Structures are given as structure tokens and as C-alpha cells.
Structure 1
């Protein structure tokens, strides 16, 4: 009989990190689910998706969305500076007036840094982009009018497998971009779009 290949057991450090992700305490405004993780970026990975729930904001269901991916490679790739790497994505709609603010991207990126610091999430080698997206509907989409979004794509290297605080920071950032009050005092919020484009 031909031998069947068995999937290797994930390393202890990775399983501990996944447990820390699962134990993260998320804000009640978020609906968080596990999703299939990309299989080509690292030997082991685990991923989450989150959406800002519409129940707290009337009928609007497009308040914000995000993804959080934890990668683990025991060879510690030089570009990572460690065995773990986090990749995250957050996106939220904004009032058009906020979308044209030239400082919006700087503020959004500073919120990511603040969210990590506020949760005590140790990290290094952070990189990413903060993007303002402006759109205008034409033709059959003309009724949508103008719209704006802010989007952050970022990655960083956690200090260790205790990544629960990193997941919580990602959730805080998503809620802040969606215009919800921050968990830390002294941080202003963006005015998120609450109604469909007109």
C-alpha cells in the first residue's frame, strides 16, 4: 500500500498564539469569525475577519470591515525579524468631507500605532499603507453620488506568541475608523458615513 502523507503537527509556539487569538476580548460592536488563512505566505497561518455590526447603528450595514492574519515561520525570515508576522487590513466608509482631508492617512496610521501601544502589544518592523479612496458614481451608479473610504493595510512582527493584544488592537482600530468612541480617552474619532450615498 502506498504511504499516505500526514500533516505535521503545528509547533507549540504557533498553537499557543492561536489560543491567544481565540482568547482575545473584542469590542461588542464587532462580529468576529475565523476564516481560511492564506496557505502560501508561511508554513502555518491563522486568520480572522471582523465586521462592525449594524445593530448599533440603525440600518447601515457598511460601517467597517477588517482581516487579521497571523503567520508563523520557524526559520524567522530576515524581513520579518522574528518567527511571527501579523498582516492586517481595515476599511471603513467616511463622510466625503473627511475623505478629502490631506492629513487623513497620517491620522489613520497614528491610530494603528496608538491602538497597539494602548493595548501594550509589543512589536517591531511595522510597515504598511493608509489610503484615502474617493469615488463618484456615473451612469447607472450616478444616484450613489460621491463617497469616501479610508483603508489601512499593515504588517508587523509581534514580540512573542501572546498575540491577543494585537488582535484587540486591530479591533479597536476598526471601531475607531468606523466612528465609534475609542476605548482610550483623549483620542478623537472620524465622522463615519452613516447613510447610503445620495
Structure 2
């Protein structure tokens, strides 16, 4: 039986970034876990999943859920503008009235920027989309009525490998989208919404 090759050791910068991520302090309302990272986006990657006060183990939260992915390429891809790139996703259900608010997408993006800035996260080249989703049930789903969600997808290039502030800012965003009080001074919250459709 041939010997298995040992797993390659991660580069020092990536290993330092992982140590920083694992030292991040999550809000108590979040359940955070390491998950398999996508292997096709960069030579090295790491991923986290989080749910806001999940009601059932192994399922997405009814209040909010998200993913945080760290990519590392020592060749510094031109599109990134650096060796690291963060990709994150956050989603939460909303009251239908909130879902039609024309300013909702702007507010969601500003919360991400504020959460990162308040924690001193250093980054460049931020980009993303905020999507409002409105839905109506028909047929066997008609009893669920109308529903709404907000989804935020974003990416940015960290300026160094000290990434605890980045993952803490992402966690703060998840909690705020779920209607929990912010830990950032002077930020208003969305009204508390139902866990599902009426």
C-alpha cells in the first residue's frame, strides 16, 4: 500500500490569518462553525457558517444565516488587489412591509461598512449586492401567504492578515439583519420580524 503524501503546509500568511479568524469573538446570539471551503476559487481557502439563534441543530436559522469565506493566493490576483479576498453572504427574513422599503438595500450595505469600520477592519476594493426578495405562496404553499427576505453578498480585500475584526463585523451584520440590537453606537435596527410567513 503506497504511503499517503502529507498535506501541504499552509503559507505563513494564510496560517496567521486563520489563527486570527479563530480568535475572533462572536456575539452570543450567533452559532458559528467551520465548514468545507470552496477549493476552486484560490490555492488556499477557509469558510465559516453562522446562524442567528438557530432553533434546530443542522438547519438554517429562521432569524438569519450567513457564510464567510477567506481566499488566499500568494500571486495576488489583479482583480483582488492583494493576496487575500473575503467573500461573505448574509440572509434574513423580513416583515413584508419592510421588504418593499426602497431604502432597505442601502441600509443593509451601510450596516456592513459600519460594522467593519467600527471594528477597525482594514480593507479595500469592497463590492457587493443587496437583494430584496418578495414571495407569494400558491397551491399547497398558499397558506404561507406573503414573505420577504434580504440577502447581502459582498467581497473585499483585507489589507493584512489580522482578520478577527472582519469576521466580527460580518457577525454583527447577521445579527442586525435579524433585528437584534447592534453593539455599534448610533445605529438603528430593523423592527423585529416574524420567523416565517403568516
Are 2:63 and 2:195, in contact at CA under 8 Å, matched by a contact in 1? no
Shift of 1:35: 0.1
Are 2:93 and 2:195, in contact at CA under 8 Å, matched by a contact in 1? no
Give 3-state SS (helix, strand or coil) of 2:130's partner.
strand
Q: Mean Cα displacement is larger for which, 179-188 or 3-12?
A: 3-12
Would you say 1:85 and 2:85 are equivalent positions? yes
Shift of 1:185: 1.7
Give 3-state SS (helix, strand or coil) of 1:182's partner.
coil
Once residues 119 and 109 of structure 1 are traced to their aligned partners in structure 2, the CA distance between those partners, rounded to angstroms, is: 16
Alignment of 1:22-171 (within 5 A): 22-54=22-54, 61-171=61-171
Once residues 39 and 195 of structure 1 are traced to their aligned partners in structure 2, the CA distance between those partners, rounded to angstroms, is: 34
Would you say 1:11 and 2:11 are equivalent positions? yes
Are 2:31 and 2:54, in contact at CA under 8 Å, matched by a contact in 1? no
Task: Give a deviation string over 1:65-104, Cα, whole Å, max 9, x none.
Answer: 0000000000000000000000000000011000000111
Shift of 1:6: 4.2
Q: Which aligned segments of 4 or more residues in structure 1 are displaced greater than 3 angstroms?
A: 1-7
Once residues 196 and 167 of structure 1 are traced to their aligned partners in structure 2, the CA distance between those partners, rounded to angstroms, is: 27
TM-score normalized with structure 1 length:
0.93
**Structure 1 residue runs without a partner (length 5+):** 56-60
Once residues 2 and 66 of structure 2 are traced to their aligned partners in structure 1, the CA distance between those partners, rounded to angstroms, is: 43
User: In structure 1, what is the equivalent of residue 194 of structure 2?
Assistant: 194
**Structure 2 residue runs without a partner (length 5+):** 56-60
TM-score normalized with structure 2 length:
0.93
Are 2:93 and 2:196, in contact at CA under 8 Å, matched by a contact in 1? no
Once residues 104 and 167 of structure 1 are traced to their aligned partners in structure 2, the CA distance between those partners, rounded to angstroms, is: 23
Shift of 1:54: 4.4
Task: Give a deviation string over 1:126-162, Cα, whole Å, max 9, x none.
Answer: 0110000000000000010000000000000001000
Give 3-state SS (helix, strand or coil) of 2:126's partner.
strand
User: In structure 2, what is the equivalent of residue 183 of structure 1?
Assistant: 183
Once residues 179 and 50 of structure 1 are traced to their aligned partners in structure 2, the CA distance between those partners, rounded to angstroms, is: 16
Superposed CA RMSD? 1.5
